[in-house]
Amino acid sequence: MPESDKVFAGSVPENYDRYMVPLIFQGYADDMARRVAARTPKAVLETAAGSGAVTRAVAAVLSPDATYVVTDLNQPMLDHARQRQGDDARLTWRQADALALPFPDGSFDLICCQFGAMFFPDRVKGYQETRRVLRPNGVFIFNVWDRIEDNVIAADVTDAMAEFFPDDPPRFLARTPHGYHDTAKIRRDVLAAGFSGVTIETRSDLNQAISPQLAATAYCQGTPLRGEIEARRADALEAATAHATKVIIARHGEGEISAKIQAHVIEAMA
């Protein structure tokens, strides 16, 4: 994975939260919060928290006497999440690498991670670190996107970029967010890290946007795809976004759009 795939800086955190969260992340964040609440944990760690969609959902249902440590590798994303969350004495914010967690063994009874494992350069190592800081019988809940063909607008935008940059098409969306979807491999990786009782549920939903332009802007300007576009031509961002909008209109019409998204939700016992 190129280092650029992990760069969420500049205006990306704000655009990610403004456009991507309501487009594809909020429903899965609410699902994650329900799963966390059902376990009634007292010490929770979130890794790869991003702009805080899960943080806000989990904090709303977490026990008043629980503790909740929120981490992300990217400080700009963590800063944005903290600003959105506001004051909450249960929460601690800390920049941290999920592959080298700065916590003692057995510190938490539940760890959650929304759409972060795809970015781990060594997933088994990341899962081993997660297991290390879980207490015996602790629970790890995470999700990953299914293949890009089952995530329609992401596929549309990827096709649009291939048309716009035919000699060197940006492949961030297919390569990283949608590149870790084989459930058999996911199960093997989690078991190799020492977990047991692994369950995987595939959940379909709809992403909805009030316009094709909003959907195109979300993907082109609210993810590291932006860096890939600008690396090919510094002044191409608006034109590439406009082309993605054109492709989405051709496939879904000019008004409000609704299209399939799909992800895997994994639960494992330490």
Q: Compute the mean pLDDT over every residue in the chain, rounded to the nearest whole number.
A: 93
Judge whether 39 lies within some domain: yes
CATH number (domain holding residue 79): 3.40.50.150
Given a cut of 70, whether residue 4 has pLDDT beyond it is no
Q: Please state which of the ranges 15-29, 59-73, 104-118, 137-151 shows the lowest mean pLDDT.
A: 15-29
* Number of residues that this document lists for the chain: 270
Q: How confident is the model at residue 17 (pLDDT cuts 50, 70, 90)?
A: confident
Query: Residues of 154-182 as b/e, b for ≥16 C-beta within 10 angstroms?
Result: bbbbbbbbeebbeeebbbbbbbbbbbbbe
Given a cut of 70, whether residue 186 has pLDDT beyond it is yes
Judge whether 156 lies within some domain: no
Total domains in the chain come to 1
List pLDDT tens digits, range 197-208: 999 999 999 988
Give pTM, 2 decimals.
0.92
Judge whether 161 lies within some domain: no
Q: What are the residues facing 189 on neighbouring strands?
A: none
- Give residue 1's pLDDT: 56
Share of the chain above pLDDT 90, in %: 87
Q: Could you tell me the residue range of the domain that residue 73 belongs to?
A: 3-148+174-206+263-269
List pLDDT tens digits, range 212-230: 999 999 999 989 999 999 9
Judge whether 214 lies within some domain: no
Give the C-alpha separation, 217 to 228, whole Å.
Answer: 14
Judge whether 55 lies within some domain: yes
CA distances (Å), origin 89, targets 36, 63, 95? 19, 12, 18
Given a cut of 60, whether residue 26 has pLDDT beyond it is yes
Nearest Cα residue to 123 out of 101, 94, 98, 147: 98
- Give residue 7's pLDDT: 44
Judge whether 234 lies within some domain: no
Judge whether 24 lies within some domain: yes
Judge whether 162 lies within some domain: no
